[in-house]
């Protein structure tokens, strides 16, 4: 379906689907086992993106 791919541990959308509001990126802060504060980026689906994926799967099921 070529919607997303993983690069350096981060999920990204292919250019065709970028800038459509399907995902957003969140920064997550946490404390590691040494007591240092670290951050990681998380890609999360928006409601618009969830509906987009749902429609893609529906189309594929009926094709």
Say whether pLDDT at 63 is over 80: no
Distance CA 29, CA 38 (A): 6
* Structural domain range at position 31: 4-62
List the one residue out of 11, 5, 7 whose CA is nearest residue 25: 11
Say whether pLDDT at 6 is over 80: yes
Q: Predicted confidence band at 11 (pLDDT cuts at 50, 70, 90)?
A: confident
Q: Can you give the pTM of this predicted structure?
A: 0.76
Number of domains in the chain: 1
**What one-character DSSP code corresponds to residue 3?**
-
């Amino acid at each position: 379906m070529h919607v997303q791919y993983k690069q350096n541990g981060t999920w990204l959308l292919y250019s065709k689907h970028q800038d459509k509001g399907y995902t957003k990126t969140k920064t997550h802060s946490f404390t590691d086992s040494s007591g240092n504060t670290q951050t990681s980026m998380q890609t999360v689906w928006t409601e618009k993106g969830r509906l987009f994926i749902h429609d893609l799967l529906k189309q594929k099921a009926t094709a």
